[in-house]
Amino acid sequence: MTTVLDPTNEATPTQIDPAMRPESLAGLTVGLLDISKPRGDIFLNRVEERLTALGSTVKRYKKPTFAKPAPVDLRHEIASQCDAVIEALAD
């Protein structure tokens, strides 16, 4: 029998359930995160129009660069200010 050393991080995967999906967005605060890709704002402007028509309050956020993860402070700001978030992933 061969015994080897585990090359992985040995971390046990953590099961995280997705947040509960609201039945309606009416009356909720929805964050729109622009990742700074070109033309992402065009898409999000339209999403904002539609959400506003549904009765949502829309807050806009922007990552400093699409090439790096969103800073932790920005993630916290969104989590504490919004009921839901939509991220525009690409151009």
Q: CB-side exposure of 71: number of CA atoms within 13 Å?
A: 8
> Tokens in use for 7?
């090359």
**Least distance (Å) between residue 36 CB and another protein:** 8
Tell me if 29 sits within 8 A of 59, measured CB to CB: yes
Cα–Cα distance for residue pair 83/19, rounded to 1 Å: 10
Query: Which CB atom, from 4 or from 20, has the smaller least distance to another protein?
Result: 4
Query: Which CB atom, from 18 or from 38, has the smaller least distance to another protein?
Result: 38
Among 16, 67, 72, 73, binds another protein (CB under 8 A): 67
**Least distance (Å) between residue 60 CB and another protein:** 20
Q: Is 47 helix (H, G, I), strand (E, B) or coil?
A: helix
Q: Does 7 bind another protein (CB under 8 A)?
A: yes
Give the interface with another protein as residue ranges (CB under 8 A): 1-11, 64-65, 67-69
